[in-house]
Structure 1
Amino acid sequence: MGPTTEPPAFIKVPATTNHSATFILIHGLGDSGSGMQSLASALQSDSLGHCQFILPHAPTRAVTANGGRPMPSWFNILSFNPPREDDEVGMLATFASIDQLIANEIESGIHPSRIVIGGFSQGGTMSLLTGLISSHHLGGVAVLSGRLPLKDKDGKYPKLKELVSPHATSVPIFWGHGSADTMISYSMGRFSADLLTSEIGVPTAPNTEEAKGLTFKTYNGMGHSVGPQEIKDLGVWLKKVLPA
């Protein structure tokens, strides 16, 4: 019997009404769960009182692209520019710990279809990986300024394709990206989203009324951040995948 995977430490923002859904909201590089509290509060106050928010903290690790200095990070980054191959071992270890958070919510009585995972930057990338390869069929995935995970040294994604779950193509995905993002470029975000549809098989959302398939939103002039319109759009999408 192998070692038990431990979930990361986290902040819990309880539902303000009857708890019937959970959003696991994951921070970016160098941040902590505390940095996502204002976003969680903004979303919860907008007709999502039935939703509990789980805000995990990344462990501190040496980040090669940061000169090897330790910082909160979900996986190692070899280089920001030019981008290098992904830290497969680190990403999959983080996936296992986040998937344990999901399992804990399910054990507490929340159905997988009532659980959404999302995050910003590194957190968005890990949310996407989790939604695509978890054995749990989640209610949705939100990617804010993220990218496709598990890139190899040739710029391909064979490991991701190998691990994708049978139900991955039916999980709704919200993707928001700023056109002026210099950390994870808009072109990388758009490329990642296009590959989701062309090679993973995630369908494009058929219309704006339903939260099915991939909904990709461009925010003109926005950098590597989360903007007010994006928060509003995310809230609208969340109310469709996690109705009260």
Structure 2
Amino acid sequence: MCGNNMSAPLPAIVPAARKATAAVIFLHGLGDTGHGWAEAFAGIRIPHVKYICPHAPTMPVSLNMRMSMPSWFDIYGLSPDADEDESGIKRASENIKALIDQEVKNGIPSHRILLGGFSQGGALSLYTALTTQQKLAGVVALSCWLPLRKSFPQASANSANKDMHVLQCHGDADPLVPFVFGSETAEKMKSLINPANITFKSYRGLPHSACPEEMVDIKKFIEKQLPPISD
């Protein structure tokens, strides 16, 4: 797919049906690509919103016996006390901030950009939103956790997003990222930003995946955080 480990193909994009006045940048999970999520968002698209689903670079992943696969950063283990790839997480976060800057250059202000992701991508979206100086419209965090959580609140002391709205979704039958990781992450987030702005939704019987009911909730959240603006 690509020879250089740090390069990745161009994002999958669902263009706005009319002039884009808002954008959603959504990060896929480990071993995936942006294409499936672009299709999912095409199914719930809102006319003035552009959806950008980047692809992670391919790299060896410790969790999967160092096999190379699309990954935003290395994962050493899935237990709460597992070591974390701090430099990789920070590097990936800087890349996402650059992507946000690119959209700002394209004419969409950062406060009209919503960040989101699934699993590893959701983890990266939360970390990025808490550490960036870019004021965002909010975050959609699906089936995920907060990476480098012990570095907060210090890391977020100067965050521009103390009042951002967060929609966290998690299946209660998730065998990979246990439901308790999601609920504990929501509690941690309430100590870092305005707790009134955090919504945590659980989905009965849902494993490590998304479901139609969840996509409807995501669409409602996007509509609320990124309303149309008159020209």
TM-score normalised by L of structure 2: 0.91
Gaps of 5+ in 1: 152-156, 206-212
Quote the residue 1:162 is aligned against: 154
Structure 1 CA distance for aligned equivalents of residues 18 and 211 of structure 2:
27
Please tell me whether the aligned partners of residues 24 and 118 of structure 1 are also in contact (alpha carbons under 8 angstroms). yes
Equivalenced residues, count: 222
Please tell me whether the aligned partners of residues 139 and 171 of structure 1 are also in contact (alpha carbons under 8 angstroms). yes
SS in 1 for 2:50: strand
Structure 2 CA distance for aligned equivalents of residues 169 and 203 of structure 1:
6
Please tell me whether the aligned partners of residues 24 and 52 of structure 2 are also in contact (alpha carbons under 8 angstroms). yes
Please tell me whether the aligned partners of residues 169 and 202 of structure 2 are also in contact (alpha carbons under 8 angstroms). yes
Counterpart mapping for 1:1-244 below 5 A = 9-44=10-45, 48-81=46-79, 84-151=82-149, 157-158=150-151, 160-164=152-156, 165-198=158-191, 200=192, 202-205=193-196, 213-244=197-228
Please tell me whether the aligned partners of residues 20 and 50 of structure 2 are also in contact (alpha carbons under 8 angstroms). yes
Structure 2 CA distance for aligned equivalents of residues 6 and 68 of structure 1:
18
Please tell me whether the aligned partners of residues 74 and 123 of structure 1 are also in contact (alpha carbons under 8 angstroms). yes
Q: CA deviation at 1:161?
A: 2.4
Identity over aligned residues, as a percent?
36
Structure 2 CA distance for aligned equivalents of residues 117 and 162 of structure 1:
22
The 3 A distance-change label for structure 1 pair 162 and 33 is same
Q: What letter is aligned with 1:79?
A: G
| Segments ≥4 residues shifted beyond 4 Å | 5-8
**1:14-67, Cα deviation, whole Å (9 max, x unpaired):** 1011210000011000001112122111221xxx11100111010011101100
Please tell me whether the aligned partners of residues 112 and 136 of structure 2 are also in contact (alpha carbons under 8 angstroms). yes
Please tell me whether the aligned partners of residues 74 and 85 of structure 2 are also in contact (alpha carbons under 8 angstroms). yes
TM-score normalised by L of structure 1: 0.86
Q: What letter is aligned with 1:34?
A: H
Q: Over aligned residue pairs, what C-alpha RMSD do you find?
A: 1.8
Q: What letter is aligned with 1:172?
A: H
The 3 A distance-change label for structure 1 pair 30 and 6 is closer
Q: What letter is aligned with 1:179?
A: D
The 3 A distance-change label for structure 1 pair 81 and 204 is closer
Q: What letter is aligned with 1:29?
A: L
Structure 1 CA distance for aligned equivalents of residues 161 and 127 of structure 2:
10
Structure 2 CA distance for aligned equivalents of residues 195 and 93 of structure 1:
23
**1:190-214, Cα deviation, whole Å (9 max, x unpaired):** 011101113x1x2333xxxxxxx11
Moved more, 79-88 or 172-181: 79-88
Structure 2 CA distance for aligned equivalents of residues 166 and 150 of structure 1:
15
Please tell me whether the aligned partners of residues 7 and 100 of structure 1 are also in contact (alpha carbons under 8 angstroms). no
**1:50-106, Cα deviation, whole Å (9 max, x unpaired):** 100111010011101100111100010112357512111110100011110000111
Structure 1 CA distance for aligned equivalents of residues 83 and 40 of structure 2:
30
Please tell me whether the aligned partners of residues 164 and 194 of structure 2 are also in contact (alpha carbons under 8 angstroms). no
Please tell me whether the aligned partners of residues 8 and 97 of structure 1 are also in contact (alpha carbons under 8 angstroms). no
The 3 A distance-change label for structure 1 pair 21 and 203 is same
Please tell me whether the aligned partners of residues 7 and 97 of structure 1 are also in contact (alpha carbons under 8 angstroms). no
